[in-house]
A and B are shown apart, each in its own frame.
Chain A
């Protein structure tokens, strides 16, 4: 069986000693930033990218992936104990998780969250492994025409399903595409928008852009809000949930995992959508919906499982097709490119050790999270006592050094400064910066594939509609865009997003 061989190959990669170490490092960093509100996984991954240069590609990806799902995990700890969601994805966990903690059942809530996450992580790993094979077979049939349509679908879907105004997000994608065009044109050698600056001839580095827009811009906006006082109390005990608790939580875990696995694959789904949908589902099918918000265990188990499953299955489009489902996956693509690996449909056949190693490492990493987190909860909670007034200058400094470190260029530091100002502007006018990053990373590929497709078809645009796979992909794009115009969807989307902000 192919699948089995692949998983074995992956496990043998993931269990190599230095990869195990990197996985542990990744989940530890991830948990830390998950616990700390005010720093998300996007700037952290951007910050660490330069230092993955020296690692082998598999090790680098294993660590960066660990940061991502570790952060989902850490976010729930603070949500339960102090009612502060470390990440957007754990906002719903606050509702019932913190309520349980108030009733003295903090230990049970934490344990259920951990078990649900681990269970979902295990299932999602298998889902990834099973889904990857047929998708990559399909991907091998792709030519430039299909790949272009796929890129368009990826971009549009990411925009439609994510937060914020669709029109603004589309404009941001275009802005990202434009930034991606800066540099020497590959085919003609002409300099585009380099303004005579030598550092621009290789194009804009996305690390300073990501750190400026997401990291520093966010910090400036955070500082404008008055500081919150957080009270950390309560001893955590009874970490082993009772049988009755487990019996109540298990069906919710199953449903959450299924929902999260599906929603995670969708572009733009990423981190926020699965837990909210799962919470809504649990509330809807519960015999007594009034228990929710008052410490219902299903309200912790379902969303936590959905959250983790979604975080992991959002790697599927990346690993099989080279399409990022969200801004964080766009950074992962960047990490691959820095390693000299061209992401795309061929990646599974050309880099089986890398792809399967990353997949297997997710399961290993989830196991690590389960083991290191429950005993170390006191440590994570004490991290919350670090005041923001000390935390943010440290982040600013590390952003500066990290940006400088990518190419040892001060130009990048200046670029980050500019992006910080623009990022702050975007926050002020209520525009999400994530689509910009997608456009920036995918821009060069989009142009290259469009150029090749046009060469193949002699400039005839109809080629995108006459080839079946491409036509199907574009049909999905059309349906997505049309659906947006329908009033019912519009209203539901608004309601769903309003609930999540």
Chain B
């Protein structure tokens, strides 16, 4: 459940608003050179322009509402699960093609299990080896995924 602490600003609204404004501004910038055209003869830039402006409007609306009204405080971010899971995915992307699926799987699982304090290496490592074997069997042997098993 959400915490009962309230703060002077609605941070949920404010952060969402800022996020939308940033995305809209980025999109408007990235599509600034596209031909917009008009409704009867739409250019490639027509829809991106319309959608980005809509997003910008929503973003400003949430920013304004967030500043004016009080809201629920956001629960504090816990870095451990966030970083461990993201790092696990990152390490998979870095190693899968170079070191092969077998090694990448073990590294990914071990790294991911750092997300919780309950994990113990004595349990995690054998489990990772088991999963790696299962993944190689399932994805490479059965589903014929074209990724190397071992480093090449």
Query: A243-299: which have CB < 8 Å to B?
Result: none
Distance, CA A103 to CA B12, complexed state (A):
43
B103 at the interface (CB under 8 A from A): no
At the interface, is chain B mostly helix, strand, loop or mixed?
A: helix
- Contact in complex: A397, B108 (CB < 8 Å): yes
Check: B39 CB closer than 8 A to any chain A CB.
Answer: yes
Q: CB < 8 Å: which of B31, B43, B62, B101 contacts A193?
A: B31
Contact in complex: B89, A188 (CB < 8 Å): no
How near does chain B come to A121, taking the closest CB pair, in angstroms?
30
B64 to chain A, nearest CB (A): 12
Residues from chain B with Cβ under 8 Å of A388 in the complex = 116
Mask of B89-106 contacts with A, CB within 8 angstroms, 1/0:
110110011000100010
Q: Provide the B129-152 mask, 1 if CB < 8 A to any CB of A, else 0.
A: 001000100010001011100000
Known: A178-B27, A405-B143. A389 touches B113 (CB 8 A): yes
A371-411 contact mask (Cβ, 8 Å, vs B): 1 or 0 = 00000000000000001111011101111110011001010
Contact call B52/A178, Cβ cutoff below 8 A: yes
The answer to whether B42 touches A413, judged by C-beta atoms less than 8 angstroms apart, is no
Segment at the interface with B among A11-19, A300-308, A331-339, A455-463: A455-463
Chain B residues 65-112 with CB under 8 Å of chain A are 72, 74-75, 77-78, 80-82, 85-86, 88-90, 92-93, 96-97, 101, 105, 108-110, 112
Check A396 against B139 for contact (C-beta < 8 Å): no
A414 CB within 8 Å of chain B:
yes
Given A401-B139, A424-B82, answer yes or no on A454-B108 (Cβ-Cβ < 8 Å): no
Interface SS of A by simple majority:
helix
* Residues of chain B contacted by A175 (CB below 8 angstroms): 20, 23, 55
Q: Which of B51, B61, B80 contacts A178 (CB 8 A)?
A: B51
Asked whether A23 is an interface residue with its Cβ less than 8 Å from the other chain, the reply is: no
Q: Is the pair B115, A392 in contact by a Cβ cutoff of 8 Å?
A: yes
Partner of A188, one of B44, B93, B115: B44
Among residues of B, the one whose C-beta sits closest to the C-beta of A216 is B85
Judged by a CB distance under 8 angstroms, whether A240 is at the interface is no
* Contact call B42/A451, Cβ cutoff below 8 A: yes
Distance (Å) between the CB of A481 and the closest chain B CB?
15
Is the Cβ of A167 less than 8 Å from the Cβ of B85? Answer: no
Using Cβ atoms and an 8 Å threshold, which residues of chain A touch B19?
A: 425
Q: Are B89 and A216 in contact (CB under 8 A)?
A: yes
User: Are B116 and A223 closer than 8 Å at their CB atoms?
Assistant: yes
Closest residue of chain A to B90 (Cβ to Cβ) is A417
A193 and B48 contact, CB distance less than 8 A: yes
Question: Closest residue of chain B to A390, judged by CB?
Answer: B127
Inter-chain contact B42/A408, CB cutoff 8 Å: no
| B: contact size bracket | 35 or more
Q: Which residue of A lies closest to B24 (CB)?
A: A178
> In the assembled complex, which residues on chain B have CB atoms less than 8 Å from the CB atom of A458?
40
Cβ of A238 < 8 Å from any Cβ of B?
no
Give min CB distance, B117 to chain A, whole Å: 9
Bound complex: CA A405 to CA B144 (Å): 10
Tell me whether B8 is interfacial, beta carbon within 8 Å: no
Tell me whether B30 is interfacial, beta carbon within 8 Å.
yes
Q: Which residues of the partner chain B approach A393 to less than 8 Å between Cβ atoms? A: 88, 108-110, 112-113, 115, 124, 127-128, 131
Enumerate chain A residues within 8 angstroms of B115, measured Cβ to Cβ: 220, 223, 392-393
Q: Report the stretch among A29-37, A94-102, A122-130, A427-435 that lies at the interface.
A: A427-435
Highest count of chain B CB atoms <10 Å: which of A188, A220, A227: A220
Q: When A220-B85, A389-B118 are in contact, do A171 and B44 touch as well, CB less than 8 Å?
A: no
Binary contact readout B34-66 vs A (1 if CB under 8 angstroms, 0 otherwise): 110011111111011001101100110110000
CA distance A227 to B85 in the complex (A): 17
Closest-by-CB residue of A relative to B92 is A400
A421 beta carbon closer than 8 Å to chain B: yes
Q: Is A2 an interface residue (CB 8 A)?
A: no
CB distance from B18 to the nearest CB of A (A): 10
From known contacts A178-B52, A401-B145, A417-B86, infer whether A396 and B42 are also in contact, taking CB-CB under 8 Å: no
Q: A408-B145, A459-B41 are in contact. Are A447 and B47 (CB under 8 A)?
A: yes
Determine the residue in chain B with the shortest Cβ distance to A194. Answer: B30
Tell yes or no: A204 within 8 A of B by CB. Answer: no
In this assembly, does B15 line the interface, its C-beta being within 8 Å of a C-beta of chain A? yes
Q: Which of B47, B48, B75, B112 contacts A396 (CB 8 A)?
A: B112
Set of chain B residues within 8 Å of A193, measured between Cβ atoms: 27, 30-31, 48
Contact B108 A396 (CB under 8 A): yes
Q: Would B54 and A174 count as touching, CB distance under 8 A?
A: yes
B binding-site residues for A, Cβ under 8 Å: 2, 11-12, 15-16, 19-20, 23, 27, 30-31, 34-35, 38-45, 47-48, 51-52, 54-55, 58-59, 61-62, 72, 74-75, 77-78, 80-82, 85-86, 88-90, 92-93, 96-97, 101, 105, 108-110, 112-113, 115-116, 118-119, 123-124, 127-128, 131, 135, 139, 143, 145-147
- Some 21 contacts from A to B, beta carbons below 8 A apart, are A51-B143, A171-B55, A195-B30, A224-B75, A224-B78, A392-B116, A393-B108, A393-B110, A396-B89, A396-B108, A397-B92, A401-B139, A404-B92, A405-B143, A429-B12, A429-B74, A454-B42, A457-B40, A459-B39, A459-B40, A461-B39
| Known A174-B54, A410-B97; further 19 A-B contacts with Cβ < 8 A | A168-B16, A170-B58, A190-B35, A192-B30, A220-B82, A223-B78, A389-B119, A392-B112, A393-B88, A393-B113, A396-B109, A396-B112, A399-B89, A413-B89, A428-B75, A429-B74, A450-B47, A458-B40, A461-B39
Going nearest first, the 6 A-B pairs with the smallest beta carbon separation are: A459-B40, A223-B81, A190-B44, A185-B44, A393-B112, A171-B58
